[in-house]
Structure 1
Amino acid sequence: MKTTIKQIGKFVDKEVKLGAWLANKRSSGKIAFLQLRDGTGFIQGVVVKAEVGEEKFQQVKDLTQESSLYVTGVVKADDRAPSGFELTVNDIEIIHQAEDYPITPKEHGTEFLMDHRHLWLRSKKQHAIMRIRNEIIRATYEFFNEEGFVKVDPPILTGSSAEGTTNLFHTKYFDEDAYLSQSGQLYMEAAAMALGKVFSFGPTFRAEKSKTRRHLIEFWMIEPEMAFTDHEESLELQENYVSYVIQSALKNCKQELQALERDTAQLEKIKAPFPRISYDDAITFLQKEGYEITWGEDFGAPHETAIAESHDMPVFITNYPKDIKAFYMKPHPEREDVVLCADLIAPEGYGEIIGGSQRIDDEELLKQRFDEHSLSADAYQWYLDLRKYGSVPHSGFGLGLERTVAWISGIEHVRETIPFPRLLNRLYP
C-alpha cells in the first residue's frame, strides 16, 4: 500500500511503500536508522542487516543525505517517536543518489543558509514553519468563510499609493507610472460596497530600507473590509479571528510546534477578548517606565514590547494621533486630534500584527484629507466615488502573515516565515 508519512498511522502492523528523501542516518555493524521525510512529515526507518541481507544493507550504508528512495516496510507504533510511529524497513529502491549535499547536520551561518534557501526549506524546523504558515492560511479562509466574507483579489499593480507614502516600488505601465501595491485596502473598500464583507490575501511590497528582524520587502497580508461596521465591531472581529487562528494551530500543528520547541502554554491562554489601552495611556505608561517619548510620536519596537510585556495577551493600542496615521482614517467623534484606529501588539516581543481603523465615510472630509496629504484628486477620484454613491460606515484591518507566523512559531526572525524572503540586500534565490 503506497501512502505518506502523514497518513501512516492508518496502517499499523501493515506493509506500506513511501516515496521519501533521506534527511539523515546513523548505523552500526548490524542496524541502520534512517531519518526519512516525504514533505508531509518525518519518520524513522529501521533497517536490520539480518532481515534485508548483506547487499541491501550495504546499499543502505552507502546512502547519502537527501538521496531519494522508495522505501517498503511495516509500520510500528512507537510512543518515543515524535510522530508516534516508525517503519521497519524490508526493502529500498534508490531513485537518485545525491552528491555532496551542502547543508549538513553541523551548524551553518545565516548567510550560507539564506544562499541555500531552496535547500534549507527541507530541514525539519523550516518544514515545521511552512506547515504552520499553511495552517494559518487554511484557518483564515475557514474563519472568514464561516463569517460570511467573500474573497476578493485586489490588483498588485496600482496607479497610486494606498497610504500616501513614498516607500513604493516604481515601474512603467506602458506609458504610465505604476507601483507595486503596498496594500489592497482601498480596492477592498470598493469591493465591500458591492459585496458587504470581503477579505483579500495577497503579496504587498514596501520599499523601506529596513534591516530589522520584523521587516520584509515583500510580505503577505490578510485584509478584511466590512460595510455597515463601526470600529468597535471591527475590533471584536479582529480578536475573534486571531483567537481562532491560534486555536487552529495548536490543534493541527502539534508536531510542528514541538519540533520548534515552542512553549505552547503562552499560546493556549490567548482567547478573546483582548485588553485595550489608548494611545494617551500608552504614552503615560511609557514615560513612567523611563522612555523618552512625547505625545504625537509613533511607537518603535522597544515601546511596543514594553506595552506588550505589561499584559499577558495581545493588546490593542487605540486612538492614535491623526497626524501619524493614514489619510483615510475616521476622526474620533469627540476629538479631532485622534482617529478611530487600533494596532494589535502581539506578546513576547513580536510587535504589531494588525493595523485597522474605521474609514472616513464623508465625501467633504475625505477631500480635505486629499488636500492635507497632497494627494492627486484625479488618481483617487474612484476612491472618492465610494463616498458619493451610497456611503456607509465601514471598517477594516490588515494582518501581516509573516509576523503572525513568527509569533505562533516562536522564531526570532520573519525571514524564516516565508518560503523565499526578499530582504534589503537579498533577491536570491
Structure 2
Amino acid sequence: MKTTISQVSQHVEETVTIGAWIANKRSSGKIQFLQLRDGTGFIQGVMVKKEVSEEAWTAAKDLTQESAVTVTGIVRADERSPSGFELTVINVDVISESVDYPITPKEHGTEFLMDNRHLWIRSKKQHAILRIRNELIRATYEFFNDNGFTKVDPPILTGSSAEGTTSLFHTKYFDEDAYLSQSGQLYMEAAAMAFGRVFSFGPTFRAEKSKTRRHLIEFWMIEPEMAFVDHEESLEIQEQYVSYMVQSVLKNCKLELKTLNRDLSKLENVKAPFPRISYDKAIEMLKEKGFDDIEWGEDFGAPHETAIAESFDKPVFITNYPKDIKAFYMKPDPNRDDVVLCADLIAPEGYGEIIGGSQRIDDYELMKQRYEEHNLSEEAYKWYLELRKFGSVPHSGFGLGLERTVAWISGAEHVRETIPFPRLLNRLYP
C-alpha cells in the first residue's frame, strides 16, 4: 500500500511503500538505519541484513545522502521515535542517486546555508519552521472565513505609497512611475466599504537598508479592514486572531515544536485577552528600566520593545502613540489631539512588533487636512479621499507580519529562516 510518512499511524503492522529521500544513514554492520523524509515528515527505517535479499541490502548500503528511493517496509509503533513510529525495511528501490550533496550533518556557516537555501529547506529544523508557517496560513484563512470576512486581493503595483515613505521599490509602468506595494491597506479600506469585513494576504516590499534579525525586504502581510468597527473592537479581534493561530500550532504542529525544542509553556499561555498599556505608560516603564534617553514623542526601537515585553508573559498592546510619529490616516483620540487611536502588538521573548493597527479617519474634512499636512498628492489619492465622501463610516484595521509571527511562535532566531527564499539587503539568490 502506498502512503506517506505523515499517514503511517493509520497502517501499524501493515506493509507500506513510501517515496522518500535519504536524509542520513548509519550502519552497525548487520543493521542499517535509514533516516527517511518525504516532505510530510521524517521516519527511521531499519533494515536487518538476514531479513532482506542481498540485492536490497546492497542497494541500501550504497545509498548516499539525499538519494531518492522507494522504500517498502512494515510500520511499527516505537515510543523511542520522535514520531512514535519506525519502519522495518523490506526493500529499497533507487530512483536517483545524489552525488556530493553539499549540506552534510556537520556545522555550516550561515552564508553557506543561505547560498544553498534551495537545499537547506530540506533539513529537519527548517522543515519544521516552514511547516509551522503553513499552519499559521491555514489557521488565518480558517479564522477569517469563520468570522465573516471576505478575502480581497489588493494590487502589488501601485502609483503611491500607503505610508507616505520613501522606502519604495520604483519601476516603470509603461510611461508612468509605479511602485511595489508596501501595504494593501488603502485598497482594503475601499473593499471594506463594499464588503463590510475583508482581509488580504499577500507580499509587501520595503526598500529599507536594514540588516536586523527582524527585517526582510520582501515579506507577507495579513491585513484585515472592518467597517462599523471602532478601535476597541479591533483590538479584541486582533487578540482573538493571534490566540487562534497560537493554539492551532500547539494542536497541529506538536512534532515540529518538539523538533525545534520550543518551550510550550510560553505558547500555552497565549490566550485572549492581552494586556494593554498606553504609550505614556510605556515611556514611564522604559525610564524605570534605565532608558533615560527616551523622550515622549520618539518611536520605539527593538531594545525598547523587548524591554517592555519582558514585563508580560503574553503579547502586549501599546496604545495611543503620538500623532506625529504615526501614519496620516489614523484617527485622533477624541480626548487628546496629540495621540491617535492606534496600537502595536508586541510579541513576548524579544520578537518585537507583530501587528500595527488603528482606527482610520472617517471625516472628509479632517482627511483633506491631513493631505495638506503631509504634502500628499490629491491627484494620486483622490479615490482614497472619496471613501470619506460617499457613505463614510467608522472603520478600523490592522496588519500582521507573517514572518515575525512565525519567528516568535517557532522560536527562530532570525526571520530569514521563516520564509522559503528570503530577500535581504545583500541577498537576491537563490
TM-score by length of 1: 1.00
1:118 paired residue number:
118
Query: C-alpha offsets along residues 403-426 of structure 1, whole Å, 9 cap, x if unaligned?
Result: 000000001100000000000010
2:405 paired residue number:
404
Query: C-alpha offsets along residues 38-78 of structure 1, whole Å, 9 cap, x if unaligned?
Result: 00000000001001133321221110000000000000001
Query: C-alpha offsets along residues 314-371 of structure 1, whole Å, 9 cap, x if unaligned?
Result: 0000000000000000000011100000000000000000000000000111111111
Three-state SS of the structure 2 residue aligned to 1:220 is strand
Deviating runs (4+, > 3 A) in structure 1? none
Is the contact between residue 168 and residue 205 of structure 2 (CA under 8 Å) also seen in structure 1? yes
Three-state SS of the structure 2 residue aligned to 1:233 is helix
Q: In structure 2, what is the Cα distance between the partners aligned to 1:215 and 1:227?
A: 31
Q: In structure 2, what is the Cα distance between the partners aligned to 1:55 and 1:171?
A: 59
2:317 paired residue number:
316
Query: C-alpha offsets along residues 167-219 of structure 1, whole Å, 9 cap, x if unaligned?
Result: 00000000000000000000000000000000000000000000000000000
Amino acid at match of 2:84: G
Amino acid at match of 2:406: V
**Structure 2: unaligned runs, 5 residues or longer:** none
2:255 paired residue number:
255
* Pairs within 5 Å for 1:111-150: 111-150=111-150
Query: C-alpha offsets along residues 370-417 of structure 1, whole Å, 9 cap, x if unaligned?
Result: 111111000000000100000000000000000000000001100000
Amino acid at match of 1:7: Q
Q: Does 1:283 align with 2:294?
A: no
Query: C-alpha offsets along residues 262-293 of structure 1, whole Å, 9 cap, x if unaligned?
Result: 00110001100000000011011111211010
Three-state SS of the structure 1 residue aligned to 2:35 is strand
Q: In structure 2, what is the Cα distance between the partners aligned to 1:229 and 1:245?
A: 22
1:303 paired residue number:
304
Amino acid at match of 1:322: K
Q: Does 1:293 align with 2:291?
A: no
Three-state SS of the structure 1 residue aligned to 2:5 is coil
Q: In structure 1, what is the Cα distance between the partners aligned to 2:236 and 2:354?
A: 15
Three-state SS of the structure 2 residue aligned to 1:193 is helix
**Structure 1: unaligned runs, 5 residues or longer:** none
Amino acid at match of 2:308: I
1:332 paired residue number:
333
1:26 paired residue number:
26
CA RMSD after TM alignment? 0.5
Query: C-alpha offsets along residues 134-164 of structure 1, whole Å, 9 cap, x if unaligned?
Result: 0000000000011000000000000000010
Q: Does 1:356 align with 2:362?
A: no
Q: In structure 2, what is the Cα distance between the partners aligned to 1:239 and 1:59?
A: 54
Q: Give % identity.
A: 80
1:419 paired residue number:
420
Is the contact between residue 18 and residue 71 of structure 2 (CA under 8 Å) also seen in structure 1? yes
Q: Does 1:368 align with 2:369?
A: yes
Query: C-alpha offsets along residues 283-304 of structure 1, whole Å, 9 cap, x if unaligned?
Result: 1111121101000000000000
1:49 paired residue number:
49
Is the contact between residue 59 and residue 93 of structure 2 (CA under 8 Å) also seen in structure 1? no
TM-score by length of 2: 0.99
Q: In structure 2, what is the Cα distance between the partners aligned to 1:55 and 1:341?
A: 68
Three-state SS of the structure 2 residue aligned to 1:182 is coil
Amino acid at match of 2:283: I
